[in-house]
Structure 1
Amino acid sequence: AKDRRSAMTPAGLAKLWAGLALLFGTVFVFTIPPFQSPDEPNHFLRAWQISEGVWLPEKGDNRLGGTVPASLVQLCDSFAYLKMDYEARLALPQLETARRLALSGHQRVFADFPNTAIYAPTAYLPQAAGIGLCRLAGAGPLAMLYGARFANLIVWILLVWRALLLMPFLRPLMAALALLPASLVIAASANADVITNGLCWWLIASFLAGAGKYHLQIAAFILACLNKLIVLPIGLFPFSLNIKRAGRNLLPAVLLLVAGFAAALFWGQFARAAFIPYDHYAPAYRDAQTLNEGVDPARQLARVATHPFEFTGIALRSAARALPSVAAHIVGKFGWEKNYLHPVWLALLGLCLAALVSTESPLIRPFQRAAAGGIVAVYVFLFALTMYALWCPVGATEVTNFQGRYFTPILPLTMLAVANGRLAAKAKVIRICAATVLILGNLAIIAAIMQRYYW
């Protein structure tokens, strides 16, 4: 059946989105220089570790990471000069040298990747599969990075494509969110959040569709909670959808939430035990890691427990200050640094989203929309708490590291909470304009990537 306000069938929309996502995503896989996505060197090393069947990180001598081929570390280091140096450019001869670098399977070294070592291995299954296939083909380390990126992209596309087919409404808005330049840039990296983002989008669409495939929902939710503990509140959403039904229909929702909680608790305990803060990390290596001085999660959380209102105020003020940059991150950011699309493009993309939000009302009750908004608020609070514990010195007066990519899992719930039909009469024109701007926006970010790294 066709969408009531669109001339395109759900399958047609999903295919069109998937085609555009594959086109632009593949361009991003190969045009963004190696390791110029946030924390990509450490994500790559952790994915390699898992591709060898080593699911748990190595910890010893106050270091956290793993033993990997020396050529992998050499590859990561050879592109480090690009990070945070806006004048640095990638020379094609250097890329050719990296391509010729052979895998030193027998020469191995210990590599530090403390910030990604605490991620569950399930967050790296696509990347590890891509690396493993490249290794079987006899490819070198650089090809393995591209293999990890491309595998991540394919998994993201498949999950979002399926979510678009399941969504009973707001499909064009979801497709637009998934086609944002920043969404595709992060999906085309080796980042651990890509599969989690896709799983959360599929779960939300599946809940709304009432698909009834409870075993798949529970399995997906377990994976998502293992990968990212703070997505647990998403498991509350089915309760709002089933609250008017017979009590027996709540059993799958209860099982899903309990399973997700158990998964989050299980990996959370491991991550807590494995984490080494900056002050306790090996002094000879800690300054090169993504760790901040003065961080102590246990002491920080104890402080929050004794000063909950103080922390709530800090979190609210920090979120308000970070809101403009978070919005820009969600729409049009790439790379490690503050690389954004031109403000005109950010504004155009933002206006398109705002217009699309007003083209259709979600076919759910007001209290269900309120539940979606409440879950978003809880997620943001848990994110702030996590960053405060793992990233900020004890007693800090601000929560830092608010980045838009961290909020991708809850974008579908956000659209459910704010969508309305005020511009429904102009939906067709708005959607055509939005599609045009999104395509041009992706072309613009390709040009921005070339200008930043090559020209």
Structure 2
Amino acid sequence: MSNVSKKKLSLPTVQQPAARWAFVLAVCASLGVVVSYYWRVFYGLDARGVSAAGVTGLCVGLAVLAGAAALALRRVRDFAKKGAACILLCGVLFAFANPPMQTPDETDHYLRTYAISMGRFDFDAQRGYPEDVDELVAAFPGAWVNAHTSAGLGTDPDTHAEQPFNSAGYALKQYGKDGRVESIRDSFEQYLTYFYRDSVPQHVTEPVSFLILPFLPGALGMALARLFGLGALGCLYGGRLVNLLAYTALCYAALRSAHKCRPAFLCIMLMPMSLYMGASLSYDTTLLGCYYLMLALLTRDEWNDKTALFYTLACVFANGTKPYINLLWVVLPLILRKSEWKVRFSRAVYAVLTAAGALALTLGVEQYGTLLRHNYGAIARQGGTTVNGGAQLLFVLKNPLRYIAVLLGTLYENDGFLGQLGLFGWKDMPIAFISITAPPVLLAAAMLCTAQTDTLGRRRMGWLGVFGLVYAVGAMTAMYITYTPVGMVRIVGLQTRYFLPVWLLLVLAAAAVLRRVLAPRLTAAKGEALAVTLCGWYAFAGAVLLFQHYFVGPVYTIYK
């Protein structure tokens, strides 16, 4: 064969990667232009004075970066590393797509984390913060969507008839056709221009929050942000990003530890709801990571001392963060067979030691918060005087059938919480697309776990199913006893994020059923590869939609 022929044959192998990159990035840039045009036309950005070039540049840049990240991840062969990279990259988008103070209880979590970052390891109700913290809290009220809600009567411009209006559930409020728009942008402008204003906001003090341990990653992020000269807003994002690193590290450990059904774990980790919490200042960031790690360890065929140690650390930490309900996790290692248990202690002794450690940390945290608090006085019961834990527990025991009706009614009213995986903010920012598509995505993840080598076995899967049911009922009962007025016919305070580990178990159960029904030929490696693509792009879409709902539209027009 001549040298010319050899050169011609080698050209495709040299040019193919470059051609792939050029083609994919060109397609991504085109999609960015399409999205930009859609935002400008459908949501009227041009009418609001937003630069067309700026919007187009943002969309094209984000789309190209997403395409480049997807191509780069193709070169990563390790599933856990590839999954962790997806979690980190998509989580960064969630950290910035979610406006300040919009995650549940984030104002309190921000103030407590900021105090810890300043070296305050005690609690003082009279101790304040720097001025820019006061301004940030004033500019971004929690539950912004409902805090800036208009309701009343308007006039239809066509029929001139009066009609009621309500802007609840919308992040942007427009008054009159082409009129003034109130948005998250106004909050940013209020904070960024406070130095030039004479008005003084209300002085904030330390919140009623007495935890230290779960807020340490965020506090580290805030301390680093201040080290680089950033203010209160920069500290918020610094805390979120380091919290995200902690969540990513725990998820990476879970993906490395899981021996079965890894697509299901990656799917639940990349669910928009999981990333929304993982990229926030909430203590749920590390709590969810611990849940996923414990369940991943339970997919292993054998437990040794190292496995048992990791499970104990995660379980004890979870109990120190959210006490008592997480004691249920102590008993899960008992589902392992004796032949699978290679730990120096027996399963019973191990469970007792783990429970002792969990209770010790729980009681220690409670005592620490009691002894080191100052100037708080009597702390009112959350939910008011109508909430009484002892009386509510007695009511449940006396009326078990009524309480079953309360459980079922609450599940029915909340779409079983499986239909609320697109409900963000303080339960006031619904993204219907995510709520509709999340269950099918979870089902798809279950189908990707149907390889014959991914089976957990009937015994283990059965006990995990029982645990999931008990945990869900326990979480609902805990909220009924501690937050709900005595005898109320529905449970107050429940949110979808409480059930994320339950949905993971549901996916594992669905995979066991589908494996028998479909008898698929899917290999575990192929299922994992498809899971990265499906769940990674779904998480990316979730971040874009969250940004769209908070910063772009829809605009609710109030006719005057």
Q: TM-score, normalised by structure 1?
A: 0.80
> 1:402, 1:20 → 2: CA distance?
29
1:183 aligns with 2:274: yes
Deviations along 1:354-384, one digit per CA (max 9) or x if unpaired, are 1332442754342322221222222223212
Ranges in structure 2 where 5+ consecutive residues have no aligned partner: 1-73, 149-169, 174-181, 196-200, 553-560
Larger radius of gyration: 2
Structure 1, 49-58 or 181-190: larger mean CA deviation: 49-58
1:69 aligns with 2:167: no
What is the Cα deviation at residue 242 of structure 1? 4.1
* Superposed CA RMSD: 3.5
> 1:265, 1:13 → 2: CA distance?
39
Which one-letter code corresponds to 1:223 in the other structure? F
1:237 aligns with 2:332: yes
Aligned-partner SS, 2:78: helix
Aligned to 1:52: 118
Please give the residue correspondences for 1:233-382 in structure 2 after superposition, counting only pairs within 5 Å.
233-243=328-338, 245=341, 248-250=345-347, 251-267=349-365, 291-304=382-395, 306-307=397-398, 309=400, 312-322=403-413, 324=415, 326-330=417-421, 332-343=422-433, 345-358=434-447, 359-360=449-450, 363-382=455-474
> 2:351, 2:397 → 1: CA distance?
33
What is the Cα deviation at residue 19 of structure 1? 1.9
Which of 133, 140, 143 matches 2:231?
140
1:446 aligns with 2:507: no
After superposition, the Cα gap between the structure-2 partners of 1:25 and 1:402, relative to the gap in structure 1 and judged at 3 Å, is same
Aligned to 2:35: none
What is the Cα deviation at residue 178 of structure 1? 1.0
Aligned to 2:497: 405
What is the Cα deviation at residue 190 of structure 1? 0.9
Aligned to 1:157: 248
After superposition, the Cα gap between the structure-2 partners of 1:385 and 1:264, relative to the gap in structure 1 and judged at 3 Å, is farther
> 2:99, 2:466 → 1: CA distance?
39
> 1:340, 1:94 → 2: CA distance?
21
Task: Give aligned-pair identity as a percent.
Answer: 24
Ranges in structure 1 where 5+ consecutive residues have no aligned partner: 1-7, 61-65
What is the Cα deviation at residue 409 of structure 1? 4.0
> 1:329, 1:47 → 2: CA distance?
28
> 2:519, 2:193 → 1: CA distance?
55
Deviations along 1:105-148, one digit per CA (max 9) or x if unpaired, are xx99552633xx14x32121111111122223332000000011
Aligned to 1:95: 188
Which of 315, 320, 334 matches 1:221?
315
Aligned-partner SS, 1:419: helix
Aligned-partner SS, 1:395: coil
What is the Cα deviation at residue 54 of structure 1? 3.1
Q: State whether residues 163 and 201 of structure 1, in contact with CA within 8 Å, keep that contact through their aligned partners in structure 2.
A: yes
What is the Cα deviation at residue 200 of structure 1? 1.9
Aligned-partner SS, 1:208: coil
After superposition, the Cα gap between the structure-2 partners of 1:67 and 1:31, relative to the gap in structure 1 and judged at 3 Å, is same
Q: State whether residues 134 and 202 of structure 2, in contact with CA within 8 Å, keep that contact through their aligned partners in structure 1.
A: no
What is the Cα deviation at residue 415 of structure 1? 3.7
What is the Cα deviation at residue 272 of structure 1? 9.4
What is the Cα deviation at residue 443 of structure 1? 4.0
Q: State whether residues 163 and 206 of structure 1, in contact with CA within 8 Å, keep that contact through their aligned partners in structure 2.
A: yes
What is the Cα deviation at residue 212 of structure 1? 2.7
Deviations along 1:185-221, one digit per CA (max 9) or x if unpaired, are 2211111111011012112223433253133432322
What is the Cα deviation at residue 225 of structure 1? 0.5
Q: State whether residues 349 and 437 of structure 1, in contact with CA within 8 Å, keep that contact through their aligned partners in structure 2.
A: no
Q: State whether residues 97 and 547 of structure 2, in contact with CA within 8 Å, keep that contact through their aligned partners in structure 1.
A: yes
Aligned to 2:478: 386
Q: State whether residues 294 and 392 of structure 1, in contact with CA within 8 Å, keep that contact through their aligned partners in structure 2.
A: no
Which one-letter code corresponds to 1:174 in the other structure? F
Q: State whether residues 303 and 395 of structure 1, in contact with CA within 8 Å, keep that contact through their aligned partners in structure 2.
A: no
1:201 aligns with 2:263: no
After superposition, the Cα gap between the structure-2 partners of 1:98 and 1:390, relative to the gap in structure 1 and judged at 3 Å, is same
What is the Cα deviation at residue 416 of structure 1? 3.8
> 1:95, 1:108 → 2: CA distance?
18
Deviations along 1:167-190, one digit per CA (max 9) or x if unpaired, are 010001111111112211221111
Which one-letter code corresponds to 2:430 in the other structure? Y
> 2:357, 2:461 → 1: CA distance?
25
Which one-letter code corresponds to 1:46 in the other structure? R
After superposition, the Cα gap between the structure-2 partners of 1:294 and 1:325, relative to the gap in structure 1 and judged at 3 Å, is farther
Aligned-partner SS, 1:83: helix
Which of 286, 305, 308 matches 1:212?
305
What is the Cα deviation at residue 432 of structure 1? 6.7
